[in-house]
Structure 1
Amino acid sequence: MVRYAEPGAVEWVESGGGPLIAVPETVLPFWAGADGEETASDYDRACEVDGHVGLLPVGDCTALVLGGEPASTAYLPDQGVFVRWCAGDSEAELLASVPPAVAAAEWEPEVHWDVPGTVLLFDAAWPGTDPSASDHVRVRLEPGRYAVRAARVQPGPETWLDLVQLRLVSPR
């Protein structure tokens, strides 16, 4: 079992204030972020997502927007979950609360996301051709269709987190 509090075991992604987005690597050049000459930028489209998760077309694929609060976010592959740190005293305490939080969560309705493989999670304001070099994380996913669901949980009196769980329902 992975002990997430070990240094370097979890990579956290920060946002400058807006949503985070998970874009398939195959279509990164098509994500313009806050740049662009159109009336509404890709970043503006991401900001319009209502709720904890949403899907946006990017190239010939779809990206997953993590809406809600601009919380520090990590992906835990053994749980298949993005963990969004809303409040908590320590990383170790927050990460230790994830398995029971996943089991007890009251999940919002699922959306289905078709993924061609690895995605890059980063601040939606950055263009896909140049996500912040130090603030992104590569998430290796098996190609296929995923059920995506989200929940806000409070596993302790001073600990709140958002969970976005990915479950492969149809491999390619």
Structure 2
Amino acid sequence: MVRYAEPGTVEWVESGGGPLIAVPETVLPFWTGADGEETASDYDRACEVDGLVGLLPVGDATALVLGDEPAATAFLPEHGTLVRWIAGDSEADLLASVPAALRTASWGPEVTWKVPGTVVLFDAAWPGTRSTTADHVSLTLTAGHYGVRTAQVQPGPETWLVLVRLRPLA
């Protein structure tokens, strides 16, 4: 796969052209990706998500689909945010713009995501059993409910990104 994000400060996950998905580690074996034997595979279900994020049932849990564009994505735990690199000259410039982008973002509606713990972010086309052998990143999250909100921001003339904020709910 051609990589668009530079290796560097953070770990970026990319897809082959479709959505990325964050599946709870506990239910990875239930995600079949594009290998499903039914009429509509799990990958097909992920592709049907309309908008920047959506939730899909997987086993007895729920996965978070990152829809819209197949952008390189990194998790910044210090901000509790997934950053999707739409355009930018360099990783350093893009990451430097995140704090200001978070302060000025116009956030979309919040959805609630119940997380049993660590989730794995990877290309939705991959089966969950093979996700950790492909381009992926593990997000260490505390079990509980999270408010998920998105924002499309342009923090600089040549920098565009999508923010996906994961806010623990009390």
* TM-score of the alignment, normalized to the shorter chain, above 0.5: yes
- Secondary structure at 1:23 match in 2: strand
For 1:63 and 1:79, the matched residues in 2 are separated by 20
Letter in 2 for 1:65: V
Bigger fraction of residues in helix: 2
1:28-39 paired onto structure 2 within 5 Å: 28-39=28-39
Aligned-pair identity (%): 75
1:23 is matched with 23
**How big is the shift at 1:134?**
4.3
Alignment: residue pair count: 164
**Contact (CA 8 Å) 1:84, 1:162: kept in 2 or not?**
yes
Letter in 2 for 1:145: H
Moved over 2 A (4+): none
Deviation per CA, 1:37-66: give whole Å up to 9, x if none.
100000000000000000000000000000
Deviation per CA, 1:89-147: give whole Å up to 9, x if none.
00000000001101101111000000000000000000000016241000000000000
| Cα RMSD, aligned residues only | 1.0
For 2:134 and 2:36, the matched residues in 1 are separated by 23
- Which moved further from structure 2: 128-137 or 26-35? 128-137
Please tell me whether residue 135 in structure 1 is matched to residue 135 in structure 2: yes
Letter in 1 for 2:100: P
1:81 is matched with 81
**How big is the shift at 1:9?**
3.6
**Contact (CA 8 Å) 1:20, 1:123: kept in 2 or not?**
yes
**Contact (CA 8 Å) 1:126, 1:132: kept in 2 or not?**
no
Please tell me whether residue 67 in structure 1 is matched to residue 41 in structure 2: no
1:115 is matched with 115
Letter in 1 for 2:48: E
Name stretches of at least 5 consecutive residues in structure 1 with no aligned partner.
Answer: 1-6
2:91 is matched with 91
Letter in 2 for 1:76: L
For 1:131 and 1:16, the matched residues in 2 are separated by 13
**Contact (CA 8 Å) 1:84, 1:161: kept in 2 or not?**
yes
For 2:134 and 2:103, the matched residues in 1 are separated by 32
